[in-house]
Amino acid sequence: MIVILKKDPDQRQLDSLKAWLKAKGIDVHESTGIHQTILGLIGDTTTIDINLLNALEIVEDVKRVQEPYKKCNRKFHPEDTVIKVGDTQVGGGTLTMIAGPCAVESEEQIVSIAKLVKASGATMLRGGAFKPRTSPYSFQGMREEGIRLLEIAKAETGLPIVTEIMDASQLDCFENVDVIQVGARNMQNFELLKVLGKTDKPILLKRGLANNYQEFLMSAEYIMAGGNEKVILCERGIRTFETYTRNTLDIALVPSMKQLSHLPVIIDPSHAAGKYALVPSLSYAAVAAGADGLIIEVHCDPEHALSDGPQSLKPKLYDEVAAKCRSIHAVVNGGAV
Amino acid sequence: MIVILKKDPDQRQLDSLKAWLKAKGIDVHESTGIHQTILGLIGDTTTIDINLLNALEIVEDVKRVQEPYKKCNRKFHPEDTVIKVGDTQVGGGTLTMIAGPCAVESEEQIVSIAKLVKASGATMLRGGAFKPRTSPYSFQGMREEGIRLLEIAKAETGLPIVTEIMDASQLDCFENVDVIQVGARNMQNFELLKVLGKTDKPILLKRGLANNYQEFLMSAEYIMAGGNEKVILCERGIRTFETYTRNTLDIALVPSMKQLSHLPVIIDPSHAAGKYALVPSLSYAAVAAGADGLIIEVHCDPEHALSDGPQSLKPKLYDEVAAKCRSIHAVVNGGAV
Amino acid sequence: MIVILKKDPDQRQLDSLKAWLKAKGIDVHESTGIHQTILGLIGDTTTIDINLLNALEIVEDVKRVQEPYKKCNRKFHPEDTVIKVGDTQVGGGTLTMIAGPCAVESEEQIVSIAKLVKASGATMLRGGAFKPRTSPYSFQGMREEGIRLLEIAKAETGLPIVTEIMDASQLDCFENVDVIQVGARNMQNFELLKVLGKTDKPILLKRGLANNYQEFLMSAEYIMAGGNEKVILCERGIRTFETYTRNTLDIALVPSMKQLSHLPVIIDPSHAAGKYALVPSLSYAAVAAGADGLIIEVHCDPEHALSDGPQSLKPKLYDEVAAKCRSIHAVVNGGAV
Amino acid sequence: MIVILKKDPDQRQLDSLKAWLKAKGIDVHESTGIHQTILGLIGDTTTIDINLLNALEIVEDVKRVQEPYKKCNRKFHPEDTVIKVGDTQVGGGTLTMIAGPCAVESEEQIVSIAKLVKASGATMLRGGAFKPRTSPYSFQGMREEGIRLLEIAKAETGLPIVTEIMDASQLDCFENVDVIQVGARNMQNFELLKVLGKTDKPILLKRGLANNYQEFLMSAEYIMAGGNEKVILCERGIRTFETYTRNTLDIALVPSMKQLSHLPVIIDPSHAAGKYALVPSLSYAAVAAGADGLIIEVHCDPEHALSDGPQSLKPKLYDEVAAKCRSIHAVVNGGAV
C-alpha cells in the first residue's frame, strides 16, 4: 500500500500514523521528493482500512498495491481449483454445460427440458425457483415447490441441479440442490455470503452489474473465509451505456480471472445478451476465451407461455450450439476436432 | 407500452399475441407503416413482462410508456408525502438534518457526538451498527451492541435514531430504531424489502450504485406494496468513471424525483464525496436543488481513531455547514434569511 | 417514432404538432387511453429532431422506433459489404489480419516488423504516424515522416497500410495510405467525417469509448452520406468501471452489428486489453464470435524502447495467435481444420 | 509515480529500467517486501509514459502519484485565474451569466433574445452557429452566417459572444467572437486544442461525456501548453445509466476543480438536464456549490419553431432563475441578500 502525503505534513500527525502502522506489523518506507513524500507500506495490509487513511488530514491519496484477497488469489494458490459436482466437475479441463429454463413452471416442463438438454450433452440442469424480479407485481417464482420439481428432474435424468438462493432463510430448501447460485444483485449481500461460507455446497457466484474484478473476488473471499472454498465465478454481463443488448458481456474477465485467481469461471451468455439470436456467438466467444463452461437458458419459450402451441425448436438450436462449443474447446485446448 | 413488430410478422403468432393481451384487459391499437407495424397497448401494463414480449420471434422491440410503479407515483398521489418521526418530520417544508458517526464505536463516542450535532440543529442521529464491508477481514460493526448504544444516545438527547439493517433476521434489534436504513448494496434485496413492507417503521432507502430512477422507485414500490408507505428516498452518489470523488452525486435526482414521485428526498453528501472537504459544497447544492434534508457523517474522526488525540474540530465545521444550509433553504423557499 | 403526450394536452398545441408532422409527410396514428395518449408516427422520421419534440410542453416522452440510419442499415441493404484493399479484401468470409507496431519509430523498425507479420499471415500493416496522446508532453508521433516510412514498408512487403488521421488538414499525406483509420476520440468529429465521406479510401472507423451502437452507426452514416460507402467498423473496447483491463471489449458488438448493418467488423484486442497477456484470448473470442478480422499491435517492444536489447519474442507469439485464429475461423465457419 | 514489480523480477531488466529512469533525472527508491518490490519514482514524471512502463515484463502495475498537468495545477499556481471578457470577467467572485438560444436561427431571433437576457442580467450571449449533430440528416447550423448574426446582436447589446468551433479550419470566422467554445465531443480533439493554444481568445472547454477530471485538465493543459492560459472549464453533464435526464450533472466537479486547478468553472445545466423544468434547480445547485457562472439555453422555443405562435414565456422564467441565482450567490459568499 502506498500513502501519498500532502506537502509539508504536520510532523506530529505523521509520527502518530507511522507508530500506528508499525504497531500493526507494517514496515514503512519513506521516500521524500520536492513536491511530495510517499510512504511505502510493506507487510500484510489486508486489514488496513483504506478509507481511514484517506480521511487523514496529512494524506493526499492512498493506493493499494497488494490485492486485498488471499484465499481466492492465484499468487497463494497457483493450481486451478477443480470442484466435484455429482459425477461431473467444474474446472480442470472439463467443459461444463449448464442448461435449463429461466424459471421452473411445471413438472412436465422441467422434466422434458432436462431430458432434452441432457441429450445435447448438458452436464447440469438449471432452473429458477426463487426469482428476483424488479417489480413486486411480477411472478416471483414457484419457490419451494419449484425446488421440489427440480429434484424430480434430477431423479429422472441424473443431472445435478443449480438454482438461485435469495435469502439465508431459504437455505433449508437447498438440501438436495447441487450448486447454489447467488444472483448478481446479491453479490454484495454480505450476510448471505457469510451463511453460504458455512455450508459445504458449491456456490455459483454471479458478478454484480456494476462491480469490478476486485469486488467480485472479495465476495468470493467472503464465502471462502467462512470455510467453503468451492466457489465458481460467473460473468453474466455488466451494465454499460449500450441498450441493444441487455447487458455487456465482459469477455476479458475470463483470461483476467485466470491470472488473478485459481477459481473456475463460467459464462452466462443468455443474461448478457438478452436476445436469443446473440447467444450462439457469445457462447463460442466464451469457450474460445478459455471459460470453464457455460450456463445457458434453454426453452424459456415465449410462444409456449402465451398459447399452447407446439414446442419450439429452441432445444434443437441448443444442440447445435453445444456441439460447436465442444469443437472450439478442442481447438483452443490444442486437441484434434 | 409499445410493441414494434418485425417486418412481415407471422400472422398466427400475431393473432395469438393479440388474443393474450386482450385476455389481460389490454386494448391493442395497431399502426401499420411501410417498414414496420407498431402495437400500442393501452391499459394497466404493470403486470406485463417486458422480457417475455421482447423474446417473441415476431417482436423487434418493446418500449414501456407508462411507469411500472403506482404507489410511489406522483400521477396517482399528487400531494407530497410527509413522514412523522418522533417530534419531527421528513418532507412538507422541513429541512431534515441527520448527522452522526459512520460507525458506533463506544457509548462515550456516540453520546458526545449526539449532543454536539443536536446543538448544531441536527434533527436525527445516525450511526452504523451493522456495517456492510467489502472485505470479510474489515470491522463489521458493533451490531446488536451498537444499536443498544444508539438507544442510550437517543435517551440522552431525544434525537430519533437512524441505522442500517443488512438482513431480515436482524429486524428484532430494530424495535426502538426510529428510521431503518436500507443500504445501496441492498436496494434490490427484494426479500428484505418485502419484510420491511410488513413493518410500520419509516424506511430510508438508498439508491444503488448503478441503478436508475425507475429501478429506485420500483424498490420503493416493493416496500409500499407490502403496506408500508413511509419510504424516504436517499441519493448517496452513483458509480461513474470519476475516481477523485468516491461516487458521483446525481443532484438532478432531487427535482426529477419531485416530478416522478411524492416521496421525500434526502441527500447523503458524505458517501457521495468520500472526501470531507467536498461535503460543504455538496450540502449547499443539495439544499439549493430542493432536497428535503441531508444525512451527514460527523466526526468519523480518523486522528482520534489512530491515537488518543483531542477531539477534532469537525463538529465545529458541521455547525457552520448546518447554519449555511438553513440560510440557503430560506432563500430557495422564498423566505427571508 | 412514438410520441407520448402528457395527460390532457392543450388541444391547440396538439393540432399544431399534428399539422406540422403531416406537412413533413408523416402519418399520425392516435391511441387514447385513460392515463395517456400516444401518437404513432409512421413514415420517414430520420429528419425529425427528437429533442425538438421532447421539448414541447404537451409531450411527456418520445421514443424512436425506426433506426435513424439508412445507408449502413441491413434492412435496406441485406447483403454483406465486401471492401477491396489492394489484393485482399475485408468482409465476405476473409479473415483480415492487420498487424504492426503502435507507433512508427524508424525505417528499420517498421520494415522488419512488416516482414515478420507478413510471414505470420498478416494481410495488412498498421502503424501510428499521427498519435493522439492525452498529454501535450508525450511523443506525438513521427507524423508525415511516419507515413513515408510506412510507404517504404509497403513497397518492401506488398502489404497495404492502415494508419490514423487526426485532422482533415492532414489528408494530403494519406494519398498512398490504403485504409484511413479514425480513432475512438474522433468518432464524433463530424467535420472530419464529412471530409472523409468525400474521399474514395476505405475508412476504419473506431467506436468511441462511451458511444452506443446507434451513435457508432450514425458516424458511419456521416461518411456514407458523403458518398464513400467503404466503411469498416472497429470495436476497440469501451470504458467501464473495470480498470484491470484498459477498456472492456464488447464482444456482443460483433453479432449485433451483423444484425443491424451490412458493414464488416474488425476487433482490436490490443487497445481493449491494454495487457499483452490477454490479447490471445480476446483474439480467439473475436474470431469465434464472427468478426471479419483483427487489428493487433505487434512488437511495441518496451524492453527494446528502453535499452538496446535483443528483439523480443513477441512476433513469435503473434505467429501462434494468428495460426490458432485461422483454426477457430475454420471451425466457426463450418470448414475443416 | 509508483512501479510495482512482479515477484522475483529479472535482474537485468530491472537494472535496465533503473538506468533508464535515472537518465531521465528520476530518483528511484526501492522498497522490498516479501510478496513484492515497489519502486518509488521521485522527480518530474510528467514525461514518463505510463503505458510503456506497464507493458514491461517485470512490471505488475504502475500508479501515478503526481498529477501529469502543470500549468492548470493549483499546486503551482495557487491564485484563482480571472479572465477578462469585454467589460466583464470570468472568475474572481463575479457570477458569470451566459445565456442565449441553442442555435442561431435569424437576426430577429438572436437580437431579440440578446436584449431579453441582457435585461435579466446576463453578462454574455451564447448561440450555436456550427452545430455538432449526431445525424448527418439534421440541421448543421447557419455556420459563418450564424456568427455574422451573433456579431449584430453583440453590436446591438454590447454583450460579448460565446460560440462553438468544430474544426480548426473555421478559426477565421471567430475573429470577433469573444469566447470560443470547444464542445464535449471535441474535448480530446488534440489537433484543434493545439491550434487554439496559439490564439489569444478565452476558450470555454466543455468536459467530454465520459471523461474524468484528469483527462479534462490534460485537455486544458494542451491549450495552455501552446501559450493560451485563458481557459474556462465547463461541466455539462456526463453519461450515466440514467436516461430520465439527458446527462448527469456532476456537481462535485465544482469544489473538486477548485482544489485541483486555478481555472474558473462554469456549469451548463441545460445540456445536463435536457428537460427545461429541471434547469432552475440545477442552476441553484451549481451556484450553491461555488460555480463561477452558468451557461443557460434561453428560448430554444419549440412551439415557436413549429408554428408561428407568440413568444413563449421562457425568457420570463430565465429572469426569475437569474435573480434567485444572485441571491444564493450572495448567501454562499457570505454577503447579505
What are D128-152's pLDDT values in tens digits?
999 999 999 888 999 999 999 999 9
Look-up of cell digits 472492456? C248
Determine whether the interchain pair A49/B194 forms a contact, defined as Cβ–Cβ distance below 8 Å.
Answer: no
Which of D243, D252, D281 has its CB closest to that of B254?
D281
**Among the listed residues B262, B328, B332, B271, the one whose alpha carbon sits nearest the alpha carbon of residue B296:** B271
**Using 50, 70 and 90 to split pLDDT, how confident is the model at B310?**
very low
Residues of A in contact with D43 (CB under 8 A): 33
What is the reported pLDDT for D305? 58
Residues of C in contact with D210 (CB under 8 A): 209-210, 239
pLDDT above 70 coverage of chain B, percent: 94
- Burial class of C257 by CB neighbour count within 10 A (0 to 12, 13 to 18, 19+): buried
**C90 has a chain D CB within 8 A of its CB:** no
Listed by number, the residues of chain B in 175-194 with a beta carbon closer than 8 Å to a beta carbon of chain A are 185-186, 188-192, 194
**Among the listed residues B114, B177, B108, B109, the one whose alpha carbon sits nearest the alpha carbon of residue B147:** B177
Q: CA of B242: which chain C residue's CA is closest?
A: C241
**Using 50, 70 and 90 to split pLDDT, how confident is the model at A42?**
confident
Determine whether the interchain pair B328/D324 forms a contact, defined as Cβ–Cβ distance below 8 Å.
Answer: no
Distances (CA, A) of B317 to B139, B297, B312, B323: 27, 12, 10, 10
**Using 50, 70 and 90 to split pLDDT, how confident is the model at C300?**
low
**C46 has a chain B CB within 8 A of its CB:** no
* Nearest CA distance, C238 vs chain B (angstrom): 12
Determine whether the interchain pair C332/A245 forms a contact, defined as Cβ–Cβ distance below 8 Å.
Answer: no
Determine whether the interchain pair B244/D256 forms a contact, defined as Cβ–Cβ distance below 8 Å.
Answer: yes
Give pLDDT tens digits for B95-119: 999 999 989 999 999 999 999 999 9
List, in sequence order, every residue forming a beta bridge with C248; answer none if it has no partner.
C238
What is the reported pLDDT for A243? 92
What is the reported pLDDT for C336? 47
Q: CA of B258: which chain D residue's CA is closest?
A: D278
pLDDT above 90 coverage of chain D, percent: 69
pLDDT above 90 coverage of chain A, percent: 69
**B248 has a chain D CB within 8 A of its CB:** yes
* Nearest CA distance, B51 vs chain D (angstrom): 19
* Nearest CA distance, A208 vs chain B (angstrom): 10
Q: Is the pLDDT of residue C310 over 70?
A: no
Distance, CA of D95 to CA of D84 (rounded, Å):
13
pLDDT above 90 coverage of chain B, percent: 69
Look-up of cell digits 455487456? A248
For residues D276 and D81, which has the higher predicted lDDT (pLDDT)? D81
**Among the listed residues B87, B83, B25, B21, the one whose alpha carbon sits nearest the alpha carbon of residue B56:** B21
What is the reported pLDDT for A63? 84
Phi/psi region, residue B236 (left: phi>0; alpha: psi -120 to 50; beta: rest), is alpha
Number of B/D CB contacts below 8 angstroms equals: 132
Distance, CA of B15 to CA of A273 (rounded, Å):
27
What is the reported pLDDT for A312? 42
Distance, CA of A303 to CA of A276 (rounded, Å):
13
Q: Which amino acid is at D140?
A: Q
Helix axes C314-332 and A314-332, enclosed angle (nearest 10): 150
Distance, CA of B197 to CA of A157 (rounded, Å):
41
Q: Is the pLDDT of residue B174 over 90?
A: yes
Q: Is the pLDDT of residue B312 over 50?
A: no
- State the Cα angle at A7 between D37 and A66, rounded to 5°: 25
Strands, E, within D171-230: which ranges?
A: 179-182, 203-206
**Using 50, 70 and 90 to split pLDDT, how confident is the model at B309?**
very low
Strands, E, within chain B: which ranges?
A: 2-5, 27-32, 37-42, 59-63, 83-85, 88-90, 96-100, 124-126, 161-165, 179-182, 203-206, 231-235, 265-267, 293-297
What is the reported pLDDT for B304? 60
Determine whether the interchain pair C32/B43 forms a contact, defined as Cβ–Cβ distance below 8 Å.
Answer: no
DSSP characters for A10-32? -HHHHHHHHHHHHHTT-EEEEEE
What is the reported pLDDT for A305? 58
What is the reported pLDDT for D279? 94
**A22 has a chain B CB within 8 A of its CB:** no
Q: CA of A215: which chain C residue's CA is closest?
A: C242
Distance, CA of D193 to CA of B180 (rounded, Å):
51
The mean pLDDT value for D149-171 works out to 98
List, in sequence order, every residue forming a beta bridge with A286; answer none if it has no partner.
none
What is the reported pLDDT for C242? 96
What is the reported pLDDT for C32? 79
Number of A/C CB contacts below 8 angstroms equals: 132
Distance, CA of B127 to CA of B134 (rounded, Å):
18
Give pLDDT tens digits for B260-278: 999 999 999 999 998 888 9
Give pLDDT tens digits for C222-261: 999 999 999 999 999 999 999 999 999 999 999 999 999 9
Is residue A273 within 8 Å of A260, Cβ to Cβ? no
Give pLDDT tens digits for B22-36: 888 888 888 877 677
pLDDT above 70 coverage of chain D, percent: 94
Residues of B in contact with A190 (CB under 8 A): 132-133, 136, 166, 185
Is residue D95 within 8 Å of D292, Cβ to Cβ? yes
Average pLDDT, chain C: 91
In this structure, of A81-85, C306-310, C323-327, the range with the lowest mean pLDDT score is C306-310
Which of B56, B185, B194 has its CB closest to that of A302?
B56
Distances (CA, A) of B177 to A50, A233, C213: 30, 38, 49
First to last CA, chain B: 48
**D332 has a chain C CB within 8 A of its CB:** no
Distance, CA of C205 to CA of D175 (rounded, Å):
33
Residues of D in contact with C309 (CB under 8 A): 16
* Nearest CA distance, A141 vs chain B (angstrom): 13
Contacting partners of chain A (3+ CB pairs under 8 A): B, C, D
**Among the listed residues A316, A325, A262, the one whose alpha carbon sits nearest the alpha carbon of residue A295:** A325
Which of A13, A168, A225 has its CB closest to that of B303?
A13
Distance, CA of D321 to CA of D269 (rounded, Å):
12
The mean pLDDT value for D73-86 works out to 96
**B328 has a chain A CB within 8 A of its CB:** no
Rg of chain C on CA atoms, in Å: 23
**Using 50, 70 and 90 to split pLDDT, how confident is the model at B300?**
low
What is the reported pLDDT for D312? 42
What is the reported pLDDT for C312? 42
Which of C68, C132, C136 has its CB closest to that of D225?
C136
For chain C, what's the residue count? 337
**Using 50, 70 and 90 to split pLDDT, how confident is the model at C318?**
very high
- Burial class of C87 by CB neighbour count within 10 A (0 to 12, 13 to 18, 19+): exposed
**B313 has a chain A CB within 8 A of its CB:** no
**Using 50, 70 and 90 to split pLDDT, how confident is the model at B302?**
low
Residues of D in contact with B273 (CB under 8 A): 252
Determine whether the interchain pair B274/A13 forms a contact, defined as Cβ–Cβ distance below 8 Å.
Answer: no
Give pLDDT tens digits for C115-141: 999 999 999 999 999 999 999 988 899
Is residue A39 within 8 Å of A2, Cβ to Cβ? yes
According to DSSP H, which parts of B177-310 are helical? 190-197, 213-225, 253-260, 269-273, 279-288, 302-306
Helix axes B314-332 and B279-288, enclosed angle (nearest 10): 20
Q: CA of C75: which chain B residue's CA is closest?
A: B35
The mean pLDDT value for A165-175 works out to 97
Sheet with B27-32: strands ordered across: B27-32, B37-42, B2-5, B59-63
The mean pLDDT value for B12-19 works out to 88
Give pLDDT tens digits for A302-329: 666 554 443 344 888 999 999 999 999 9
Residues of A in contact with C213 (CB under 8 A): 242, 244
Q: Is the pLDDT of residue B303 over 70?
A: no
Determine whether the interchain pair C42/B27 forms a contact, defined as Cβ–Cβ distance below 8 Å.
Answer: no
- State the Cα angle at D62 between D60 and D64, rounded to 5°: 165
Distance, CA of B73 to CA of C224 (rounded, Å):
45
The mean pLDDT value for C187-212 works out to 98
**Using 50, 70 and 90 to split pLDDT, how confident is the model at B311?**
very low
Residues of A in contact with D248 (CB under 8 A): none
Residues of C in contact with B31 (CB under 8 A): 29, 31, 40, 42
Q: CA of A276: which chain B residue's CA is closest?
A: B55
Determine whether the interchain pair A169/B191 forms a contact, defined as Cβ–Cβ distance below 8 Å.
Answer: yes
* Nearest CA distance, C18 vs chain B (angstrom): 16
Half-sphere exposure of A9 (CA within 13 A, CB side): 27
What element of type H or E holds A59?
strand A59-63
According to DSSP H, which parts of chain A are helical? 11-23, 50-54, 107-119, 144-157, 190-196, 213-225, 253-260, 269-273, 279-288, 302-306, 314-332
**Among the listed residues C164, C147, C161, C162, the one whose alpha carbon sits nearest the alpha carbon of residue C107:** C147
Q: Is the pLDDT of residue B45 over 70?
A: yes
Residues of D in contact with A36 (CB under 8 A): 65-66
pTM for the model stands at 0.94
- Burial class of C77 by CB neighbour count within 10 A (0 to 12, 13 to 18, 19+): middle
Residues of D in contact with A63 (CB under 8 A): 2, 63, 65
Q: CA of A193: which chain B residue's CA is closest?
A: B136
- Burial class of B82 by CB neighbour count within 10 A (0 to 12, 13 to 18, 19+): middle
Distance, CA of C52 to CA of C59 (rounded, Å):
10
What is the reported pLDDT for D323? 96
Strands, E, within D228-273: which ranges?
A: 231-235, 265-267
Contacting partners of chain D (3+ CB pairs under 8 A): A, B, C
Determine whether the interchain pair C189/D190 forms a contact, defined as Cβ–Cβ distance below 8 Å.
Answer: no
Give pLDDT tens digits for D9-21: 888 889 988 988 8
